[in-house]
A and B are shown apart, each in its own frame.
Chain A
Amino acid sequence: MPIINFGGLLNFAEAMEKQDMEFYLSIASNPEMSDLSDLFQGFAKDGKKNIAHIQRTRRENITEMILEGITGFFRKPFVLEVKDDKEMGRAQILKYVDKMEARAIAYYTEGAKKIKALPEVSMALKVAGKKRMAHTQKLSGS
């Protein structure tokens, strides 16, 4: 399905952050990942902040003067199947985490380009994406 407008773009971002946050909360208490528990707790907290940031953007950065449609942007490449970490091994979990971060960064990068007509929204997406980039750096250092 295409993402055709401001609300659709931010709603997808919110859903993505929620899905990721829930996964991070789950793996933070997974005994298999106990050595990385604090890291994932932190990622979940970032997710919560990103959700608030996206909701605020959706409320505050909308104007009917520039409520133009978005073209050529599709959900499919950014959809990630919801996984149950209890049915996954450590390696699988880490691989999935990498996938989550990569898709979030890609989504925010592409989304920021697609909504350039609303520069504050574009900026907000870049800010959210930056947080996810920091995750990948932390993961590679862990």
Chain B
Amino acid sequence: MALPIMKNYINGEWVESNGTQIGNIKNPATAEQIAQVVFGTADDVEKAVQAARKAFVQWRETPPLTRARYLFRIKDALEENFEDIARTLTMEQGKIIDEARAEIRRMIENVEHATGVTTLMCGYTLEDIAKGIDCTGHRQPMGVFAGVAPYNFPGMVPWWFLPYAIVTGNTYVLKPSEQVPMTQTRIFECLDEVGLPDGVVNMVHGSKDVVNAILDHKDIQGVSFVGSTPTARYIYKRCGETGKRVQALGGAKNIVGIMPDAKLNEALPSLVTSFFGCSGQRCLAGSILAPVGEAADLVVDRFVATAKNIKVGDGLSDFTGMGPMASSAHLDRVLGYIEKGIKEGATLVLDGRDCKVEGYPEGYFVGPTIFDNVTPEMTIAKEEIFGPVVCVVRCKTLDEVIKLINTRDFANAACLYTDSGTAARKFKYKVLPSMVGINIGIAAPMSFFPFGGAGNSMFGDIKGHGQEIFHFFTDTKVVIERWF
């Protein structure tokens, strides 16, 4: 049977790219090829941008409430196809089906939040800024925006931006991850059903050439990106050179502190989810476990015992607790970090390297892996591993945990488990990362709060979703009026 080939979506039509480079999409649980994608070219980007430019003229004049009604229709289409989208996501990315469902839910929540445009896009007015002179700030759409998405959340991440861009009257060009293009293609099939005017949303598959064409295109007003820190920095810089707005979210090295007074029974399930959920392939995953003081032995023992019981396998099975790595290249990368940890002298207390899953001999599996006695200087304590590898850095005090957090290169998220309000207050006040969890292992802001880190975890000033995103996608035009 012929494999499905992912097409571009430009000006309301599914079109083939003129590119010649083909990407093979594999199911990471089986290593079986399930689809192909043709990598687009600068020419494809040009066509998409021109379609978006043309559509912008009428779309910006469409009343915001009418634009919001399209989003209600999009929501309905996504709800109707929810399970199918989630299964597609699991098949191409590997995460377990519940994680895929949670991702699609969050995606839809962004559509829901964006429908608040008639409140959230409002400008402001002040009369008599000088005698007889009034001043009004209008939020206006700017034109064509673009998004570049990562492989770990192929469904949700583009929707941290896209619904807000279009509901504010802009038009959009999206480049999904070339590694996992099927999910967004399935989502665009839903979009295609709702009758958006042609050219309002466009999708171009591809790799670096497409990204560069987006970054350099003079008609694109701004770019949203989520991915690794080196790429985020590159995009930020290049967008700066071409005068674009940019929000570029990068990597993470999240630390989870556990105070001796933490309620361990209650904390343990969420701790385990924090470190091993999505097989550690998420920017909010716990990476360093930092138990404090006399609690450390107990915390580590119980954490290891719980992690041992996680069943690794195909994400589509109801009996799987953790899926594979998203690709064989990434599996190799994670295994490389484990080797590095051993070489640098950390104690490997749970080894996930030789992870065999019955019936899935070719899958990209690595089991839960835990290093104890990791020191802050070790590579595994500094670099983003992006896999189910936990580094235990034992700390004597809360101050030591905070210092550990604030001396990492990344500043995405940080969590603390404690029963003390004083400790919690000090922690959230002093840590640099801008997504903080207290007795929560995944500090994931919902659509109505901003998502993004600080330091090398985020380049740009306006984060994903939240209320501020309406500012990213609009220009505030100030009108000063005086009538004689």
Cα(A55)–Cα(B319), bound, Å = 19
B439 to chain A, nearest CB (A): 11
Q: Do residues A1 and B277 form an inter-chain contact, with CB atoms below 8 A?
A: no
Q: Are the CB atoms of B106 and A64 closer together than 8 Å? A: yes
Is B187 interfacial (CB 8 A cutoff)? no
From residue A124, how far is it (CB to closest CB) to chain B in Å? 15
The smallest beta-carbon distance between A69 and chain B, in angstroms, is: 6
Are A63 and B101 in contact, with the CB atoms below 8 A? no
Whether the Cβ atoms of A7 and B319 lie closer than 8 Å is no
Contact A68 B97 (CB under 8 A): no
Q: Name the one of A4, A62, A117 contacting B102, with C-beta atoms under 8 angstroms.
A: A62
Q: Fill in one digit per residue for B100-114: 1 if any A CB lies within 8 Å of its CB, else 0.
A: 011101100000000
Binary contact readout B443-456 vs A (1 if CB under 8 angstroms, 0 otherwise): 01000000000000
Chain B residues whose CB sits within 8 angstroms of the CB of A68 once the complex forms? 269-270, 272-273
Query: Using Cβ atoms and an 8 Å threshold, which residues of chain A touch B97?
Result: 7
Residues B321 and A5 in contact, CB atoms below 8 Å apart: yes
Interface residues on A, range: 20 to 34
Interface range, B side? 20 to 34
CA–CA, A7 to B272, complex, Å? 18
Nearest neighbor of A117 in chain B, beta-carbon distance: B269
When distances are taken between beta carbons in the complex, the residues of chain B under 8 Å from A69 are 269, 272-273, 321
Cα–Cα distance between A131 and B225 once the two chains are bound (Å): 48
CB-CB under 8 A from B269, the residues of chain A are 68-69, 117
Contact A64 B82 (CB under 8 A): no
Once bound together, how far apart are the Cα atoms of A60 and B79, in whole Å? 9
Question: Which of these, A11, A60, A64, A65, contacts B318 with CB under 8 Å?
Answer: A11
Complex CA gap A12/B103 in Å reads: 22
**A12 to B311 Cα, complex, angstroms:** 19
- Interface hub of A60, A64, A117 (most chain B Cβ within 10 A): A64
Interface string of B393-424 (1 = CB under 8 A from A): 00000000000000000000000000000000
**Chain B nearest CB, measured from A81 CB (Å):** 20
List 10 additional A-B contacts (Cβ < 8 Å) besides A6-B98, A7-B101, A62-B101. A4-B311, A5-B98, A62-B98, A62-B105, A64-B103, A64-B277, A64-B442, A65-B440, A65-B442, A67-B98
